[in-house]
A and B are shown apart, each in its own frame.
Chain A
Amino acid sequence: QKEVEQDPGPLSVPEGAIVSLNCTYSNSAFQYFMWYRQYSRKGPELLMYTYSSGNKEDGRFTAQVDKSSKYISLFIRDSQPSDSATYLCAMSALRNRDDKIIFGKGTRLHILP
């Protein structure tokens, strides 16, 4: 079983819809969870990060972590064509700040105008 599983998509939704992106993981030591957005031929951009379980909201984005189920989600409200990108979940055990991060494969999202 891979440490982080993420459906690669592509996921196509109409503009204005709510988007739900998810990842599952197997390592119970993971404490720090991140979502990155990557546009084509660009470096990943940090969208949100959360520590341990719970929800975090930032504008149209909401990140959820359920450690009991080893499941994390990113919700995008009022989706826009500019949200079309690849979204990567990432996580780390955070024993120290130089710990490497494990990435999911990324989900390609298309918002249809």
Chain B
Amino acid sequence: GAVVSQHPSRVICKSGTSVKIECRSLDFQATTMFWYRQFPKQSLMLMATSNEGSKATYEQGVEKDKFLINHASLTLSTLTVTSAHPEDSSFYICSAPGLGYEQFFGPGTRLTVL
């Protein structure tokens, strides 16, 4: 199956700093990628749809200015958490649709804001 990677896998930062998370489709192109957030023992919550070459589409309640998404190429989407605070600590996961419409997920990035 298709492979999606994320970097970094884990990040710890101080409150007020910005953190960038990368999502790459390694062996296929993805015009669309999805970003999710998952709190402990909770399901995946879709944050936004990243569109190559255009603006991301955010879900209701997700702050666009806080979670900046850039989909600069057909294999890379980035999520930047700006001015991170402890309540932003979570597990962030990206996904990309395969040829058969199934979603392939990255391994996730665990963000801890001190």
Contact = CB atoms under 8 A, between A and B. Distances in A.
A90 interface: yes
Q: Is the interface of A mostly helix, strand, loop or mixed?
A: loop
B38 to A, nearest CB: 9
B101 A97 contact: yes
- Give the interface size class of chain B: 20 to 34
Contact of B34 (A100, A104, A105): A100
Contacts of B103: 34, 46, 90, 101
Interface stretch (B11-19, B72-80, B104-112): B104-112
Interface residues of A, number: 24
B70 to A, nearest CB: 17
Contact of A103 (B43, B49, B100): B43
Contacts of B43: 88, 103-106
A18 to B, nearest CB: 25
A32 B103 CA distance: 11
Given A46-B103, A90-B103, A100 B108 contact: no
A53 B73 CA distance: 36
Interface of A: 8, 32, 34, 36, 41-46, 49, 88, 90, 92, 94, 97-98, 100-101, 103-106, 108
Q: Which 5 A-B pairs have the closest CB atoms?
A: A98-B32, A43-B105, A105-B43, A43-B108, A43-B107
